[in-house]
Structure 1
Amino acid sequence: MTRKFGAGIALGIIGTLLVAVAVWLTIAYTGAYNVAASDQHADAVRWTLDTTMHRSVERRSGDVELPETFTDELVADGAGHYAESCVYCHGAPGQEPTDWSRGMRPEPPHLTEAAAEWSAEEIYWIVENGIKMSGMPAFGAHHGPEEIAGLTAFVSQLPGLSPEDYRALTGSGAAASEGGAPTGEATGGAGAEPAAPAD
């Protein structure tokens, strides 16, 4: 009796797995899932991607070693790098992300609020390694540990940073217009990308 019961459970598990694989392959091969960035992810897909990403970063960031406190110089250096490239997708205090970045799926988080959800070690890991299938690039291949630490120091302080403080740190008096073409120049290092225009 016990043996039959165990065999029934095993067959039930195998059957469930086979059905799941069949559904997965059907979705993949029929093109049933809409991959257009103009269409929001289904709630189940969004939850799966977000939860997987958070747990993956949390698990892998444990080996990151950072100083207990960040110097003002490191924060300022990170602010310059942020203004050169990150602000267009992630926004800044008093500066909205560009319209084209709002068309990405998943939508890049507005870091003036979202950075509070991550530890400094997790931010460092994300900047260094990027996130697959999100548009977030891995900067570790072409940015040194000091640059990534600077970005980490700055992003960690973004929540609660005022627009005035942001402009002072980046050396720019300009704020972005929504979706505007970048113009002007952001200070923060040689080869700086153009900053976004004022509102």
Structure 2
Amino acid sequence: MENDRGKRSEKSEKKQTSHQRKIGWVSFGAGIVVTLLVLLGAGMFVVYSGGYNVAASEEHRSLVRWALDTNFHRSVENNARGITAPETITSQMVAEGGEHYKKTCAYCHAGPDGERAEWANGMRPLPPALSEAAAEWEINEVFWLAKHGVRLSGMPAFGETHDDQALWNIAAFVKTLPALAPEEYEGIGSTEPLEPSTPFPEASQTP
């Protein structure tokens, strides 16, 4: 009899413990759902109230800037991964890309002197000075950026108006910018092909 009572008591305790665990998990799940709904509601309030300032005269908040930058870099890396660069980057490609860059891209992205058009300083996000930023990207990533552009940044998709060869020329030139001397940049547009002061980085020729 005592053994039967002990077994029944043990079963009852196990059942009660299992029930308490279920209640705990249900409460935990409900807490997560409520938290998500509150965050969603707060987000919708900000969106519909116009509470987030979209003025280009102010920088993004730190958290927003981090989220946008992180997603931007990961997106470019993922989308450009399957693009294969030309096996050979010629000085003629660099020269032709440089002429286009100087006539079009330099207004926002500047040359070796870091000076962009005055109006470009009012853009948010501020276009990167490629004489520095180009070192962060592989040539296939520069090609992808030039071809597809970047939403809500002012960077157009040049693939709509340029063929792939022209875009590879631009990408080839951009990759030489960090090592390009100011006098070489000034010589762009002359009748002689531009010879960069240092060879095109071999590691950047392949994705």
Q: Does the TM-score normalized on the shorter chain lie above 0.5?
A: yes
Aligned to 1:168: 187
Whether 1:81 and 2:84 are equivalent positions in the alignment is no
1:104 and 1:165 map into 2 onto residues whose CA distance is 28
Q: What is the match of residue 42 of structure 2?
A: 23
Q: CA deviation at 1:95?
A: 5.2
Select the structure of larger CA radius of gyration: 2
Task: Say if 1:155 and 1:3 are closer, same or farther in 2 by CA, change over 3 A.
Answer: same
Query: Residues 1-199 of structure 1: matches in 2 within 5 Å?
Result: 1-94=20-113, 96-171=115-190
Quote the offset at 1:14 in angstroms. 1.2
Q: RMSD of aligned C-alpha atoms?
A: 1.4
Contact 1:94–1:162 (CA under 8 A) maintained in structure 2:
no
Residue-by-residue CA offset, 1:120-167 (whole Å, 9 max, x unaligned): 111111000000000000000110000000000000111121111112
Contact 1:77 1:151 in 2 (8 A): yes
Q: Percent same amino acid at aligned positions?
A: 44
Query: How far apart, CA to CA, are the structure 2 residues paired with 1:11 and 1:81?
Result: 58
Q: Secondary structure at the residue paired with 2:178?
A: coil
Bigger shift: residues 9-18 or 22-31:
9-18
Where do 4+ consecutive residues of structure 1 move more than 6 Å? none
The answer to whether the Cα contact below 8 Å between 2:114 and 2:129 also exists between their aligned partners in 1 is no
Uncovered stretches (5+) of structure 1, i.e. residues with no partner? 173-199
Alignment partners' CA distance in 2, 1:7 and 1:48 = 32
The answer on whether the counterparts of 2:135 and 2:175 sit within 8 Å (CA) in structure 1 is: yes
In structure 1, C-alpha distance between the alignment counterparts of 2:90 and 2:75, rounded to whole Å: 29
Structure with bigger helix share is 2
Q: CA deviation at 1:63?
A: 1.6
Distance 2:179 2:28 in 1: 54
Residue pair 1:37, 1:105 contacting (<8 A) in 2 also: yes
Deviation at 1:93, TM superposition (A): 1.1
2:29 and 2:152 mapped to 1: Cα distance?
35
TM-score, normalised via structure 1 length: 0.82
The answer to whether the Cα contact below 8 Å between 1:127 and 1:138 also exists between their aligned partners in 2 is yes
Per the TM alignment, residue 11 of structure 1 is displaced from its structure 2 partner at its CA by 1.3
